[in-house]
Structure 1
């Protein structure tokens, strides 16, 4: 609580409030799982501290319950409003930071986002993840190594992104699968694929999270990015993005706080007709290319 707030509350009232906190925390004392006990007691303590600090009104409590209920109603198997809420509050990035300790030169992690889907189609090296999604073609290549510089063969690389209109395939109602796929690194740890040149887009803001952003005068727009999830045996799973160097949204700010300097990459813009790495015919279409070398940390024993 602030000093002025504390001074305005009588000692008797403070004692009543503290007694409730102590009682609720004690109610978890018999929890057999030590970690669950720690989580529930800490959650209780911080939640009550928040309520007491801001002197939460009953009407505000009602509005909070309505907000969470609305988030539950709009959530389905293709949209996760609670992840979106976690993202815009920075809770997702803080959890990422806590769970992905910096290890040597390992690639930095960032938020998962609400639009990853299982069972994305497999493509060969040099294949195309677009699946008919609209956008400027982009050649992406790189290597997967560990922190000692050793190539990581057969790493599974999941990639997904929005189309040129700013929508993921899951946001369409026709069941399309586009802008996502998985592939595997080769024996030298190399990988390559065609995707789409990322563009800025707003996170879904037609629900309760969007209303909260509007009420607080915050932009829902994300900086241009391409999602990756990389897994390999005995190495720490990496969930990350790469961002587009020079994107004006980087200066304005990313709505989910996901940008890290090391993840900003140069996307070289190529004119129509420029030779492509794999001979693809793009004589009538401009395209882009970028390189993203991925370094995976060892899992802790």
Structure 2
């Protein structure tokens, strides 16, 4: 009876020992990582600290950067300049500035005062020779005040292809009254004479500059001395100018006529003007030459075959 009772106890002990041995074996193989409730809870922060968790956010960011880096850049497309808001692109015709001929100054050298049809050869600016354009450039440099006029053609030799209306010299400080109609070459010679001879002579003898030059005749379709049967005058070509009086800045009038017995300064001025003017003109006639030139100086640029000058 005692043997039967001890046998089950021994079997129970063997089973318990076997279970404990198996449990220890499983713990050694990694099966014992399962968390078991603990009676001592303690500080919860200690428990969290002892259980580190993997932070997945940095890995996600690394993957995102890698994707951005690997992704190919979009192909470059050809960009065209777009006009700003409210602006329309210019057409080819609008890109070039157009000069309004109506606003062009009449005093601009090299161009007629009014051109209705610049394509027409008769009114084309290109019909003007290079010498005419160069002459006008020199007039501008000398300060001559002039305007272009329409071509003059009164028949025969009475014509000026590119006439000028001259009204002053020295940038307007010296006036010419009334305004004279001349060709460009005669205007240039007269302007040089005023600057190089007449103005210095008046300052030397009268200690005053010139205010006004009074002319008696410029362009005129007539014969020499206006006499029938004589050759046509250089006035008919705008190639001559007659001077009757000079007014100085101090108000003194110097008339071109035979001076009185005691008019020493006037005589000296007229004599020097007559002699020195031959350096600028081919013909110089004045008081004492004949009855037709008793009250003025006649200057012209007559082209003589002999090349001689007439200064009387």
Q: Which of 1 and 2 has higher RCO (CA within 8 Å, sep 6+)?
A: 1
Taking structure 2 as the reference length, the TM-score comes to 0.23
Looking at secondary structure, tell me which structure has more helix per residue: 2
